[in-house]
């Protein structure tokens, strides 16, 4: 059986409409099978728009919310049919070469001391470090501070004196309560850099004075 012989007019119509028109509608208009349309579109390098594909899926869901793809999904609380059952011996033999062994380290595991820059949700970049016995990477500036001064109290943050989050050195770090940080952020918009620095210095002095007073009364 010979394939469809396409006219230039049909090719022009397919090119203009394929990206946002139902393939079934195009097939009916051109008197061609769905396979023939898909095959020709592939040969011409045509693709469906992402938005069009999304609308098709939404329409299918509205028309038949219990479609096959949903039927095959696990429901909340549903227990797997093979839970608690041993793996068949023949399946185990085929799969054992790909199984993790006790104590095996993943190929992409980072060594202790590994460092990298990562962005937070606000786009600021921070140095992260891999510590021994800790699975996830730790913010290096917090780790540096705790190495020198002990555990960071609840309700306090570690900030950068020069505002550069990538300048991660101990002498560039200071501790500040979240309450004081909120106040500091508010006067950033109202005062000159000189006054901001003076207010910050006063805050640091007050913390030292309060600490000394606390030590002398104990």
Q: What is the rounded distance in angstroms from the CA atom of residue 201 to the CA atom of residue 103?
A: 51
Digit-coded pLDDT (tens) for 38-58: 888 888 888 888 776 677 777
- Let me know if residue 104 belongs to a domain: no
161 has pLDDT over 80: yes
Digit-coded pLDDT (tens) for 83-138: 888 888 888 888 887 887 887 777 778 888 999 999 988 888 999 999 998 888 99
- Boundaries of domain holding 22: 8-63
Q: What is the rounded distance in angstroms from the CA atom of residue 182 to the CA atom of residue 188?
A: 10
Question: Tokens standing for 81?
Answer: 């049919």
Which residue, of 63, 89, 108, is where some domain finishes? 63
pLDDT of residue 207: 73
How many structural domains comprise the chain? 2
pLDDT of residue 69: 54
- Let me know if residue 31 belongs to a domain: yes
- Let me know if residue 98 belongs to a domain: no
- Let me know if residue 101 belongs to a domain: no
- Let me know if residue 152 belongs to a domain: yes
21 has pLDDT over 70: yes
Q: Which DSSP helix (H) or strand (E) runs through 116?
A: strand 115-119
Res. 170 pLDDT band, cuts 50 70 90:
very high
The pTM of this model reads 0.45
Question: Tokens standing for 186?
Answer: 């508010």
Which residue, of 21, 47, 63, is where some domain finishes? 63
Which residue, of 43, 63, 83, is where some domain finishes? 63
Q: How far is CA 204 from CA 51, 96, 120, 212, in A?
A: 55, 60, 27, 13
Partners of 128 in beta bridges: 116, 139
- Let me know if residue 103 belongs to a domain: no
- Let me know if residue 21 belongs to a domain: yes
pLDDT of residue 1: 40
């Amino acid at each position: 059986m010979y394939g469809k012989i396409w006219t230039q007019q049909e090719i022009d119509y397919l090119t203009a409409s394929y990206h946002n028109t139902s393939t079934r509608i195009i097939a009916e208009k051109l008197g061609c099978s769905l396979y023939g349309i898909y095959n020709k579109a592939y040969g011409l390098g045509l693709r469906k728009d992402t938005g069009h594909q999304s609308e098709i899926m939404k329409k299918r869901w509205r028309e038949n919310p219990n479609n096959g793809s949903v039927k095959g999904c696990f429901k909340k609380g549903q227990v797997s049919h093979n839970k608690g059952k041993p793996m068949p011996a023949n399946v185990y033999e085929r799969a054992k070469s790909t199984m993790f062994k006790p104590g095996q380290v993943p190929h992409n595991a980072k060594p202790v001391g590994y460092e990298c820059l990562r962005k937070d949700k606000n786009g600021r970049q921070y140095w992260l470090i891999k510590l021994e016995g800790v699975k996830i990477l730790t913010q290096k500036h917090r780790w540096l501070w705790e190495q020198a001064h002990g555990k960071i109290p609840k309700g306090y943050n570690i900030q950068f004196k020069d505002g550069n989050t990538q300048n991660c050195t101990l002498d560039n770090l200071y501790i500040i309560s979240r309450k004081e940080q909120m106040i500091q952020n508010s006067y950033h918009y109202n005062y000159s850099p000189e006054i901001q620095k003076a207010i910050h210095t006063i805050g640091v002095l007050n913390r030292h004075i309060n600490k000394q007073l606390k030590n002398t009364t104990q």
